[in-house]
Amino acid sequence: MSETFVNINLLPLEFIRVEELRENRVYLYLSLLMAVLLTLTPFLFLRQKNILAQNILQEVNFSLQEYEKYKPQIKKTEEEIDDLKKKKKALTMVIGRRSIWLARLLEIGRTLPSRYICLTNFSPTTGSLEIKGEISLTTIKAGFEDLRNFALRLNELDYLEGASVTQCDRDEAKEKLVFAVAVKIKE
């Protein structure tokens, strides 16, 4: 035969529950403590996040104060930069135009029919150009022929048209022919 262990408790149910409660009291307190900790943990994290946000806000406010302190100087510097950019643009435009006109003047110089013609003045006006010069006289006929050829060659350039001699005088003292040619600039 084997021994069996049977535990029969004839105490009323209230006593049994009080005894079980006494045995489980430690677990009950631990569960209550865990519930409180689990409830407080998000608040701790939220508080930590709030502290971090406050520190960041203080740094941003400090940076903003520094910016406001130097804002007039920054504005002044930005205005100076804008002025310099405008001047640079204007200079670039002027240099571009001058280089174009320099190339055109050199091309006009290459259209001279002889070495006896000397150009002395270029006067651009709106839509036209006046060219003044002198021709060293070898003969009057050769001087007039060179002037005529010069005016014809000016008409052949892509950016000029309607070249006409507006002045032609003989300077007896210098033995030169002084002339002026008016030319329209093509658009």
Quick check: is 138 in a domain?
yes
Return the pLDDT at 29: 92
Nearest partner of 120 among 177, 175, 186, 160, judged by Cα: 177
pLDDT of residue 95: 82
Judged against a pLDDT cut of 80, whether residue 1 lies above it is answered with no
Tokens standing for 73? 């100087």
101 in a domain, yes or no? no
| Residue 26, in any domain of the structure | no
CA angle 24, 25, 29 (to 5 degrees): 120
- What CATH number does residue 177 fall under? 3.30.1360
pLDDT at 87: 93
Q: Model confidence over 8-39: pLDDT tens digits?
A: 777 788 887 888 888 889 999 999 999 999 99
Which run of H or E residues covers position 163?
strand 160-171
* pLDDT of 164 above 90: no
pLDDT band (50, 70, 90) for residue 98 = confident
Residue 61's pLDDT band, with cuts at 50, 70 and 90, is: very high
Q: Does 91 fall in a domain?
A: no
- Pick from 124, 119, 120: nearest CA to 97: 124
Q: Is residue 93 part of a domain?
A: no
Q: Which domain holds residue 115?
A: 111-185
**Tokens found for residue 51:** 């502290």
Does residue 120 fall inside a structural domain? yes
**Which of 157, 155, 166 lies closest to 133 in space, CA to CA?**
166
pLDDT of residue 103: 80
Asked if residue 173 is part of any domain, the answer here is yes
Q: Return the pLDDT at 125.
A: 76
Non-local CB neighbours of 176 within 8 Å, separated by 6+ positions: 134, 135, 136, 137, 170
Instruction: Please identify which residue in the block is written with the tokens 């259209």.
Output: 111
As a whole number of angstroms, the distance between CA 22 and CA 92 comes to 97
State the residue for tokens 């930069």.
Answer: 81
Domain count, the chain: 1
46 lies in some domain = no
